[in-house]
Amino acid sequence: MAKINVIDRRTGATTVVYADSVEDVLASIAKGEIGKKTKRGEKPATYAPNHFMFVTELVDWYMDQMKTWTPDDRAKFSAHFHKYFESIETMAVDQTVIDDYVGAYTSDGAAPQSAKRRLTVLRAAMNYAIARKRLPEYPEIKWTFRAAEPRRERVFTRAECARILWAARRIRLDKRHAQRKKLKRNPMWWFESFLWVALYTGARPEAVARLKFAHVDFIDWQIDYRTVKETRKKRSIVPIAAALKAPLMRMRRENPGAEFVHGTSKAPYPGRAAIAGAFREVMAVAGIPLGDGLHRASMYTLRHTTASLLLRRGASVWAAAGVLGVSTERIEKTYGKHMTDHLRETVNKL
């Protein structure tokens, strides 16, 4: 398959076409697939897709189309792709390019799973462009992510959870940082409630960040995560624990007109960069090391901690799966190792 430029002599417009031969292009012109005129009131004809769109252009266009990207996340991902995929055409991305990217990114100290998340964005952008005729359907996206990293093993103990919540409360009540910035309250005032909700519901960080007061039922005391955001991730309705009522009522009282529960001073809801930065600061104040490798702590460690505590305190697999919004098979596969204490009590009855 070769690149062929089709030039309209009347207008001088050039259309780039990928075809096996010139005869195929002439046949497409004869059929009206290229250069087809439209009548008044009809949508413009779809010309040949842009085969020479760079990866950086594709990702920037994709993030512009998807309105859910926060400015911080957009700038972060755009800078990442400009660094590693500069001057690489989208149609030239194959398994060799992907392997070279993973090798370069992980050699800079990044985890393989971090590379996988960014390749997921690239694949989504390519599929989105193909569906909207911005890219051709040929060739198919056949590259895969070969490197696989085991799941992280880090979970917090109940004592560590208490220290983390204490550190977040201390930061929220500290007015010195707010005075230096000439603000009415500490910029991280929202993060204490964020941690309470994350620990006592086991929800993913992005679901907690986009939680609205409309999703919180203060009468029946439950949170409906199913309507937080359209996603393929399974979500559920989680009852509000007794310890979680006070932080939610405080957020409602302090922000009577807010739409989102955890709104920040810069955005309606916190982005990934803001959440990660707040988490690192709280861990430093709590005196808990982040760790490294498979034992490195992140915001997802809170979700793993909730699952492990539920199982260790005798909750059934079905109940834990209902709270976390996953299948029972996923609970047994991922968190089954945390059920050993409960199983030990069972075998001791023999």
Contact 332, 317 (CB under 8 A): yes
Q: Which residues contact 339 (CB under 8 A, 6 or more apart)?
A: 311, 312
pLDDT digits (tens, 9 = 90+) for 74-89: 888 989 999 999 888 8
User: What residues contact residue 61 under an 8 Å CB cut-off, 6+ apart?
Assistant: 53, 125, 129, 134
The pTM score is 0.61
Residue 46 has pLDDT above 60, yes or no: no
Q: What is the mean pLDDT of the chain?
A: 79
CA atoms within 13 A on the CB side of 106: 17
Q: By three-state DSSP, how is residue 3 classified?
A: strand
pLDDT over 80 (residue 198): yes
Distance in angstroms (rounded) separating the CA atoms of residues 306 and 208: 14
Looking at residue 321, its pLDDT comes to: 87
Of 127-136, 175-184, 190-199, 301-310, where does mean pLDDT reach its minimum? 175-184
- Supply the pLDDT for residue 334: 77
Cα separation, 149 vs 277, in Å, equals 24
Q: Is the pLDDT of residue 240 over 90?
A: yes
- Residue 13: predicted pLDDT: 63
Distance CA 158, CA 167 (A): 14
More confident residue, 221 or 25: 221
Q: Tell me, what's the pLDDT at 217?
A: 93
- Domain locations in the chain? 55-131, 158-346
pLDDT over threshold 70, residue 120: yes
Say if CB 324 and CB 202 are below 8 A apart.
Answer: yes
- Percent pLDDT > 90 in the chain is 24
What pLDDT sits at residue 15? 67
Q: Residue 282: which pLDDT band, with cuts at 50, 70 and 90?
A: very high
Q: Which fold has domain 158-346?
A: hpI Integrase; Chain A (1.10.443)
pLDDT band of residue 151 (cuts 50, 70, 90) is low
Q: How would residue 45 be classed by pLDDT, with cut points 50, 70 and 90?
A: very low
